[in-house]
Structure 1
Amino acid sequence: MATVQHWTGAEVKALRAAKRMSLKEFAAHLGISERQISNWEKAGKDISPRPVNQAALDTCLSRSDPETQARFAHLVGDSLVSASQGEASVEPIGSSQVRHPAVGSLMVKVDGSVFLSGPSNEPVWLPAFYIDVHPVSNAEYSLFLAATGHTPPQHWEDGKFPEYLADHPVVFVTWKDAAAYAEWAGKALPTAQQWEKAARGTRGNVYPWGDQPTPAKCNVRENGVGSTTPVDRYQSGVSPYGVYDMCGNVWEWCSTESRPGRRELKGGAWTSPFNRCTPSSFNDAAETMCDDDTGFRCVVPADVLEKMLNG
């Protein structure tokens, strides 16, 4: 597949023609105004869209069917560069992993860019952030309890987790429990869109590993595991950024408020049928909900964490 080295109004016009869309349809597809598209096309080679729009155009082209890409290539010709010469892509798995300097958790960078969000794959821009590679484990959560005296999960005996669950995600935590941990750790709960981007990548994958429905790549009801599993078990199910358990194992609290007193949950759990675990799907619960299949992970804005690491 070929990609555009630098978008101008001429390539924008060619892409719209190749997709056989009206101005209105193309503007809606990119999530910008018809007037903006019209201005680009009129200016031709004399105008370049902003980086956020360049990224949206890259994504639009990459997700086009082969016939559309062939029409586009015919229209623009030497404006293209082959993928082997420099197509932008997500960094290789694990290449941007760091340890959070305060709590030591493994995090990975999700670069700032447009990604395709929700069931309808709407282009959305998000700035760069780091996200926990794994859900917060019982062992990690116990450090928070020891430091703060926060109430332990209800199934822990004498305030301690069973040793065999040390590397399993913590459960029986309310949204307020999760938010309290995040604040203590110098982090935050992810927004629903941050979580989804980390799970799907930029190009609208249905699942973290791609578009094939493969329940064996995650801990869901169909597999009959019947409980949580270690946070690093499902290596073949990692996301394009190398993030684990974005399908199954535990539902994960997000910071996004769906309505007063309710927050979004993402990812499905060991109790969930596979078709409920699609990262683009919506789910929410009361902030006070506390169950054996619900946990969380955290994020940090990229500039904040990088300042901590370099300071």
Structure 2
Amino acid sequence: MKSIIWCHMNRFLTLCVTLIASASYADDPTERPMIELRLDAKQTLIFRRVSPSVHEIDYPDFYVLETEVTNAQFKVYLDETRKTKDDTGVLQIIKQREERGVLSTGDIPYSIEDTSTIWHDGKFPSGLGDHPVALITLPDAVAFADWVATSHPNAGLVRLPTWNEWMIAAYGKTRHYPWGDEWKPDSAHTSHGFKYDFDTVMDNEPDQRPIRTEPVKSRPKGCSPEGVFGLLGNVSEYILGDDPTNAAYFNLGSRWMGGGFTDGQAVFDEDNDRLSPRTDYWGYSHHATIRKDDLGFRLVLDPSRDDSLLKRQRIFQQNNRAWMIDDDRVDLPPTQKAEP
């Protein structure tokens, strides 16, 4: 009898805590530590609050998706909008280019490392539901964001992140990496730390570098303080196409951040055992319709609907000591130096 009474008391206390928490955030949604948007009975988007003011950064709070958008989440969107996804056409083009043996700078970039991971006829391979969706274009990512916003009209502005938002989410103001100041290869799914072994290649032995994505929550040690997974590695992430920080890139079609599992595949760089801290350059293309198996996206949610943020110039300059790409170029205190 005592155990039954105690069980009911626990349930009652839990309900009270839930109601109190809900009431405290009811008046101002921007005060919630996270916001959940349900896509269907099984799939939910969870956004974590990032507060730049904690780092004395002049930028309002925003919410960033805790992982990249997954295959299963993207499948809900396709089904609801009666669209489809099939990557076999990209695979055929890649094979034709390999047979042709001639690369053109005008070609739309395509890449597939592991053909067993591609979508066929609107379906992703079994077991890859919690892997980040990849081989999609910038317009695909924008269309998904627009669909989420339309499906949740009271949530706020749902979109791709700006350069400012991605940098703040990943590095705060002075962090070297999302998880801290020390480079830890096992905190990110990348090819950094894997040397290109000519003997292995010549002997047709398996390459040790990763050739496919992994589940989005595989590396909790790589989380940011807010609980955001995979800001570095797994797949690179599209940022807003018309972000003003893109103006320096000639004829820019798309730009991405964070690096994917192929990044770090150096051939001659013998000092490729770690990633330079606070890296803000990852890649761009003159095309918006590229499709790469290490390029996906995550979303940002702005409950305040402040569209002026879309036009903000970069809030940090590269000559700012806290934001140098390579810390060897600046005289930082020992505590701010990356581990060799």
Q: Quick check: 1:249 aligned with 2:234?
A: yes
Equivalent runs, 1:171-190 vs 2, <5 Å: 171-186=134-149, 187-190=158-161
Structure 1 CA distance for aligned equivalents of residues 230 and 254 of structure 2: 20
Contact 2:238 2:254 in 1 (8 A): yes
Structure 2 CA distance for aligned equivalents of residues 289 and 277 of structure 1: 27
Equivalent runs, 1:77-226 vs 2, <5 Å: 96-101=33-38, 104-113=44-53, 125-154=58-87, 155-186=118-149, 187-201=158-172, 203-221=173-191, 222=193, 224-226=209-211
Structure 1 CA distance for aligned equivalents of residues 259 and 276 of structure 2: 6
What one-letter code is carried by the residue in structure 2 that aligns with 1:166? G
Contact 1:192 1:256 in 2 (8 A): no
Cα displacement (A) at 1:169: 0.1
Cα displacement (A) at 1:159: 1.2
Q: Quick check: 1:299 aligned with 2:300?
A: yes
287 and 278 in structure 1: CA distance in 2 versus 1, 3 angstrom threshold: farther
Secondary structure, counterpart of 2:304 in structure 1: helix
Secondary structure, counterpart of 1:231 in structure 2: coil
Structure 1 CA distance for aligned equivalents of residues 86 and 159 of structure 2: 20
Structure 1 CA distance for aligned equivalents of residues 79 and 234 of structure 2: 25
Greater RCO, CA 8 A, separation 6+: 2
Contact 1:107 1:132 in 2 (8 A): yes
- Aligned to 2:254, which of 256, 259, 263? 263
Cα displacement (A) at 1:161: 0.5
CA shift digits 1:17-57 (9 cap, x unpaired): xxxxxxxxxxxxxxxxxxxxxxxxxxxxxxxxxxxxxxxxx
- 2:9 corresponds to which residue? none
CA shift digits 1:170-204 (9 cap, x unpaired): 00011111111111011201111111111112x32
TM-score (norm 2): 0.55
Sequence identity of aligned pairs in percent? Answer: 32
- 2:319 corresponds to which residue? none
160 and 213 in structure 1: CA distance in 2 versus 1, 3 angstrom threshold: same
CA shift digits 1:115-144 (9 cap, x unpaired): 5xxxxxxx8532211110000000000011
Cα displacement (A) at 1:280: 2.6
253 and 153 in structure 1: CA distance in 2 versus 1, 3 angstrom threshold: farther
Contact 2:170 2:231 in 1 (8 A): yes
CA RMSD of the aligned region, Å?
Answer: 2.4
TM-score (norm 1): 0.60
Bigger fraction of residues in strand: 1
Contact 2:39 2:73 in 1 (8 A): no
Deviates more, 1:168-177 or 1:279-288: 279-288
Secondary structure, counterpart of 1:105 in structure 2: strand
Secondary structure, counterpart of 1:164 in structure 2: coil
Contact 1:246 1:279 in 2 (8 A): no
Secondary structure, counterpart of 2:240 in structure 1: strand
Secondary structure, counterpart of 1:213 in structure 2: coil
CA shift digits 1:236-276 (9 cap, x unpaired): 00012110001100010000442544232110111011537
Structure 2 CA distance for aligned equivalents of residues 256 and 282 of structure 1: 15
Contact 1:268 1:278 in 2 (8 A): no
Contact 1:114 1:126 in 2 (8 A): no
What one-letter code is carried by the residue in structure 1 that aligns with 2:170? A
- 2:281 corresponds to which residue? 281
What one-letter code is carried by the residue in structure 2 that aligns with 1:185? V
Secondary structure, counterpart of 1:142 in structure 2: helix
Q: Which runs of 5+ in 1 are unaligned?
A: 1-94, 116-122, 306-311
261 and 280 in structure 1: CA distance in 2 versus 1, 3 angstrom threshold: closer
Deviates more, 1:276-285 or 1:96-105: 276-285
